Amino acid sequence: MFTNSMPMLLSISAFSLLLPNDLKANDTADLFIENAHIVTMNPDQPNAKAVAIKDGRILALGDKNSLTPYLGEHTKRLDAKGAMLMPGFNDAHVHPTVGAVKDLFECNFPFTASPKDIQQQLRKCVAERPQDLWIRGGQWSSDFFINHPMESPRAFLDEVSTEKAIAIVDDAYHNAWLNSKALELLDVENQNVPGMDILRDKHGKATGVLIEAFGFLQQNLHWSEKQYIQAASYVSKLANSYGITGIKGTAMTNPAVEGYITLAQRGELSLNMAVALMTPYGHREKALDLKPLLKNRKALKALQNAKPQSSQLNVDFAKIFTDGVPTAARTAAMLHPYTPVYGKHTKGSLHVHPEALKADLIALDKAGFTVKIHTAGDRSVRIALDAIEAARKANGHSGLRHELAHAGYIDDADLPRFKQLDAVADLCPYLWSPSPIIDSVIGAVGKPRGEHYWPIRDLIESGAPLLTGSDWPAAVPSMDPWAGLEAMVTRKDPNGQYPGSLWEEQAVTLEQALKIFTVDGARALGMAKDTGSLEVGKFADMILLSQDLTAINPDRISETRVLKTWYHGKLVHEQQ
C-alpha cells in the first residue's frame, strides 16, 4: 500500500497523463496541493504527489507536472513540502454528545482520582455553580470501590452537598454513584428498572451506587436545546482537530441528534455522520416495539428534509445493549464464570433474551436498520451472531452489515461466523494496552483468559469485516485516534505510563490499521462511495500530518499532530 517502487510511480504517471485529455474548460481546480506524500488508501492508485480539487471533490491525483492543466487563475495552491496527506479518519463508535457535554458542562476528574480528589473537585464545582441544581460528571475507575471500600457511598457524596443533586459515572459509563438528593429527585428507592441493580446496605437502603444505570440516567437527565447545539458544534471542531472527518454517534436520542441537524442546516457541521438511535435499555424478555423507533427516525428525516444541509446524517442505524461490561462490575455475559467475589461465581447476565434478540434483528433488518449490538462478553457475542444468522435466514442478505460492538472476547468457534454472516466486529483499540481499566477486566475475567482480549489479528486472518471507534467518553479521556492507532499496531500504552503489552501477538501492521480507520470506517457509516479513500470523484476529506507515518517507529505514532483538515474540500482545521 505504501510502496514507492518504480512500477508504482510509472502507473501513477500513466494514469495522470490520461486525465488532461478529458479536461473540460470548467474543470480548473479550486485547490491544488503539490509536493505531498499522498497515501490514498485506494489499492488501484496507492500513492500520489499532487491532488486537484473542485467543488469539494477530487478532480485528479498524480504528479505535479501532469496535473498542471487543472490550474486556473483562481486556483489556490498549497506546497505540502513533503508532508503526508491521507484520507480523514472515521470514528465509527463514539458517544459524541455525551462526551461534549462532559467537557463543556460537567464536573470532571481523572480515572485515577482518589476519594480525596473526588471530594475536592466536587466541592469546587458546587462553589462555581451556585445556580445549578444538578452536579453531573465523573469518572471514577471500575475498581474504585475495591480499592476504596466505603460503608455508605451516598454519605460520602453528602459530605460535599445535600442541597445539590450529585450524579457521577464510572469510567465505562455503565455505572453511577449518587448522593441522597439525586436519589430523592430520581425516586431511586422506589424504582424497579429492569437490568439496573440498586446496591443496598444491610438495612435495605440504597447505597448510592447503581449498576447498569446508563439507560436510566439517559432517560431521566437531559440538557437544553441550546446545550445540545453547543455540544454538536464542539464535537465537530474537536473531531476535525484530530483529523476525524466522519463519525457514527452511538445510542443517541432525538434531541441530541437534532443538535447536529441544526448545525448542518446552518452550514457548520464538518463531519460525515451516521447515527445509531437508542433503543430501550435494560433487561427484557420480549421483542422490541418498533413503533417508537420508526417514529423517531421518521421525525429526524423530516427535520433534515425541511432545510438544505451542509452534511447529511444517516439515521438508518439502531443500538441494542445485550450486556454490560467485563470489569469488576462483572455485568458482561460470559460463557464461563468470572473470578469469584465473596466466594460467589457469576457469568454476568444478558439484557435481552436470545429469542427476543432474534426477533429484533429480523424486524430491524427488514425495516432497513443496521444494528449496532453491544456485546462485551463472549456469550453475548454468540447470541448476537445467532440473531444475525436468524435475520439472514428470514430476510436473505439485505446488504446491511450488523455490528458487534466491544467484541473483545470471542470464542474460537465464533470467529469464522463474522465472515460467514457478513457481521462487523466493532473494536476499540484505544483500550488495547495496559491500563487501570484493563487491570479491572483481567482481574474480573481471570488469567490467562482475561489477557486474551481483542483478537484483531485473528479476525483479520479469518476475513471478518472490521470497524474501529473510540467509544469516547467511555473508558478513554478523548476521541484522539492517534493513541488508538499506535495501540492497534504495538499493543502497548502509547503514553508510556503502564509497562508491558496486552496480547502482543495480536498486533497488526500500520497498513491494516489505517484501512480500518479510513476505508472500513466509511463503509460502516454507509458512505464508502463518497469518502474513506482519496479517489477521483470522492469528497476531498483529507488530513495533512506533522510526520510521515510510514517512515517512523510505531511507538511514535501517538505523537502525530494534524496540521490541516479538509472536509468536502473546505479547510476546517489548521494547527496554530
- Which residue, 454, 566, 551, is CA-closest to 501? 454
Average pLDDT over residues 433-450: 95
Higher-confidence residue of 545 and 343: namely 545
CATH 3.20.20.140 residue ranges of the chain are 223-529
Strands (E), 429-523: 466-468
Contacts of 20 (CB under 8 A, 6+ apart): 66, 67, 69, 70
CATH 3.10.310 residue ranges of the chain are 112-170+176-211
CA distances from 42 to 20, 77, 433, 514, 528 (A): 21, 24, 30, 12, 12
Average pLDDT over residues 298-327: 94
pLDDT attached to residue 7: 37
Residue 20 has pLDDT above 90, yes or no: no
Average pLDDT over residues 324-347: 95
Whole-angstrom distance, CA of residue 274 vs CA of residue 526: 8
Residue 18 has pLDDT above 90, yes or no: no
Q: Residues 139-164: pLDDT tens digits?
A: 999 999 999 999 999 999 999 999 99
Strands (E), 179-271: 197-200, 206-211, 244-252
CA distances from 251 to 39, 219, 271, 278, 320 (A): 33, 12, 18, 4, 8
Position 342 confidence tier, pLDDT thresholds 50, 70, 90: confident
pLDDT attached to residue 17: 38
CA distances from 485 to 91, 132, 172, 515, 531 (A): 12, 39, 20, 11, 19
Q: Residues 166-182: pLDDT tens digits?
A: 999 999 999 999 999 99
Whole-angstrom distance, CA of residue 152 vs CA of residue 174: 20
Average pLDDT over residues 284-299: 97
pTM of the model: 0.93
pLDDT attached to residue 379: 98
Whole-angstrom distance, CA of residue 427 vs CA of residue 331: 19
- Say if residues 260 and 232 touch (Cβ distance below 8 Å): yes
Residue 532 has pLDDT above 60, yes or no: yes
Residue 15 has pLDDT above 70, yes or no: no
Q: What is the percentage of the chain residues whose pLDDT exceeds 70?
A: 95
pLDDT attached to residue 431: 87
Question: DSSP assignment, residue 284?
Answer: B
- Say if residues 162 and 181 touch (Cβ distance below 8 Å): yes
Q: Provide the CATH number for the domain formed by 6-87+540-548+550-574 in this structure.
A: 2.30.40.10
Position 11 confidence tier, pLDDT thresholds 50, 70, 90: very low
The class level of CATH for 112-170+176-211 reads alpha beta
Higher-confidence residue of 32 and 20: namely 32
CATH 2.30.40.10 residue ranges of the chain are 6-87+540-548+550-574
Residue 5 has pLDDT above 50, yes or no: no
Grid cell for residue 412: 474460537
Whole-angstrom distance, CA of residue 418 vs CA of residue 427: 13
Q: ∠ at Cα 265 (263, 271), nearest 5°?
A: 55
Average pLDDT over residues 204-212: 95
Average pLDDT over residues 416-432: 95
Q: Provide the CATH number for the domain formed by 223-529 in this structure.
A: 3.20.20.140
Residue 289 has pLDDT above 50, yes or no: yes
pLDDT attached to residue 2: 57
Average pLDDT over residues 264-274: 97
Average pLDDT over residues 50-75: 96
Longest pairwise C-alpha distance within the chain: 84
Residue 24 has pLDDT above 80, yes or no: no
**Around Cβ 213, how many Cβ atoms within 10 Å?**
28
Grid cell for residue 17: 497523463
Position 312 confidence tier, pLDDT thresholds 50, 70, 90: confident
Whole-angstrom distance, CA of residue 313 vs CA of residue 185: 35
Whole-angstrom distance, CA of residue 140 vs CA of residue 145: 9
pLDDT attached to residue 8: 38
- Which residue, 522, 561, 566, 547, is CA-closest to 42? 522
What residues does 324 pair with on adjacent strands?
Answer: none
pLDDT attached to residue 61: 98
Whole-angstrom distance, CA of residue 458 vs CA of residue 409: 12
Provide the mean pLDDT of the chain.
94
**Around Cβ 97, how many Cβ atoms within 10 Å?**
23
